[in-house]
């Protein structure tokens, strides 16, 4: 019974005190990938072959994009991932 009480505290218990200056530290587990972004003059029709004007390679994936946003908002995110 004591173990259950430690794992699942009473909903009537007061929440732990947190410093007003502390911020959450998000941890996300997910995929990190590489995005290849090609700039073209116009949207191609089906089966068309066109040349790109510019090619940009950058990090991507849902996890890395979400954590980049969190970092830009001032948080200090952490990630657990495997490169693909």
Cα separation, 71 vs 27, in Å, equals 12
Cα separation, 29 vs 64, in Å, equals 10
pTM > 0.85: yes or no: no
Cα separation, 76 vs 79, in Å, equals 10
Burial track 22-39 (b if 16+ CB lie within 10 A, e otherwise): eeeeeeeebebeeeeeee
Residue 49's Cα: distance from chain center in Å? 34
Lowest mean pLDDT, pick from 18-22, 32-36, 77-81 = 18-22
| pLDDT tens digits along 40-84 | 999 999 999 999 999 999 888 888 888 888 889 988 998 888 765
């Amino acid at each position: 019974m004591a173990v259950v009480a430690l794992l699942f505290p009473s909903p009537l218990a007061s929440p732990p005190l947190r410093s007003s200056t502390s911020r959450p530290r998000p941890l996300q587990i997910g995929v990190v990938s590489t995005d290849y972004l090609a700039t073209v003059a116009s949207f191609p029709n089906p089966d068309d072959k066109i040349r790109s004007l510019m090619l940009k390679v950058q990090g991507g994936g849902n996890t890395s994009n979400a954590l980049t946003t969190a970092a830009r908002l001032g948080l200090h995110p952490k990630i657990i991932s495997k490169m693909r």
